[in-house]
């Protein structure tokens, strides 16, 4: 069971091609770490929780994205920026899945 925690998932690609599974992986991992609320609107989180979540998110995104969003210090803001950037891919992926 200890190996489950050690397993990693693939970082969010700069193209966003793995955005949907990445979102699910992030949400699940943050839930396990009891940090899921840090990426929800109107959350009340401690500085430690925000820092832990920000480190986690930055660890799981492409290096180019890390530098592009380097000045963001709030995990909710980073989460929303990534969502704004890649959300449109949901429609593309889901439409393709329906057509296949």
Q: Which portions of the chain are predicted below pLDDT 70?
A: 1-7, 90-100
pLDDT at 8: 73
pLDDT at 67: 95
pTM above 0.85, yes or no: no
pLDDT at 42: 82
pLDDT at 39: 94
In the DSSP assignment, the letter for residue 13 is P
- Say how far apart CA 6 and CA 52 lie, in whole Å: 17
pLDDT at 2: 47
- Say how far apart CA 26 and CA 24 lie, in whole Å: 5
Q: Where are the domains of the chain?
A: 18-99
């Amino acid at each position: 069971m200890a190996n489950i925690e050690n397993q990693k998932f693939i970082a969010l690609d700069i193209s966003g091609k793995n955005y949907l599974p990445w979102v699910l992986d992030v949400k699940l991992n943050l839930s396990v770490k009891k940090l899921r609320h840090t990426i929800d609107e109107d959350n009340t989180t401690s500085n430690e929780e925000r820092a832990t979540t920000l480190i986690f998110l930055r660890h799981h995104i492409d290096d180019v994205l890390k530098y592009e969003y380097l000045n963001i210090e709030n995990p909710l803001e980073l989460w929303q920026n990534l969502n704004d950037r890649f959300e449109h891919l949901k429609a593309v992926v889901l439409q393709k899945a329906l057509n296949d």
